[in-house]
Amino acid sequence: MSTLGAFIALGGTPAAWAELQSVNAGSAILQRTLRLSSSAQEADGLPGAGVVLFAEPLTTARQVDGLRLRDVDGWMRITGSPPVGTIASIRVAAEQPLDAESRVTLTRERDALGVPRVDLHWRQGPLERRAIRRVLRAVAAAFGATGRARVQLTLGTLKPPHAESGSELRADYTIDTAAVDADEFLLEPGNHHMCTTRMSASPRTGVVDADCRVHGMANLYVAGSSVFATGGIAPPTLTIIALALRLGDHLSGVLRP
């Protein structure tokens, strides 16, 4: 799950902060994630959480209605930092703890092909919200300590006026600067379906075994993010590919005469 958690004013040009957004790894560009350390997670009893930055030209970002980074230009001058050249949005994601009530079931309704439609039961709990707050505060403190950036948290105050439009343009958001941060701030799904046929050594706690074979079935296998034991905060594509290749190797051995 994720949310648009903050905006950050960065001193200098976008190029000066480019490596915080992504890194060139030869034939691929990898997106960077700033995340909670393992020690911070363990100390606070929190699931994983991390943020990514989306920097854009200053004039575009300032179209956000209600954006107020408290006289950042003056603050940058006082601290001797470069003038504000970029305002980035901070997208924050959190791992969702397993919950037996979060599940997919079949309904009596059928689609045009006669296949039963699914019903998604998705519960959001306090732990992931605590993790989101914790990582945002850590990132805000770290950037503030550099003397080159200033963060404005928007949790509980960010309002997309036309949520049904599906638009993610920054200009479509309004920040209610008078609002008090709410515990029930907006959370959005991460658009990756995971953990619905989770891997486990026992059919009591999962659907497939270590070879992605459905418990109790001799010839039914599942390869995909549904077999993940937990969701994590990273995109699942590379892990899905690795699972598919691993299953291919396994099936090659099973089918070999």
What is the residue whose two structure tokens read 């990132």?
139
The separation between CA 115 and the C-alpha centre of its own chain, rounded to angstroms, equals 31
Q: What are phi and psi of 244, to 5 degrees?
A: -65, -45
pTM (two decimals): 0.77
**pLDDT digits over 58-116, tens only?**
444 444 555 555 445 554 454 555 556 677 778 888 998 888 888 889 999 999 999 99
User: pLDDT tens-digit profile of 154-163?
Assistant: 776 666 555 4
pLDDT tens, position by position, 172-199: 556 665 665 566 677 777 778 889 899 9
In DSSP terms, which residues pair with 54 in a beta bridge? 89
Domain boundaries, the chain: 2-175, 192-257
**Dihedral of the alpha carbons of 224, 229, 232, 234, in degrees to the nearest 10:** -20
Q: Is the pLDDT of residue 7 over 90?
A: no
The pLDDT score that the predictor gives to residue 244 is: 95
- pLDDT grade, residue 1 (50/70/90)? confident
112 sits in the region (left: phi over 0; alpha: psi -120 to 50; else beta) called alpha
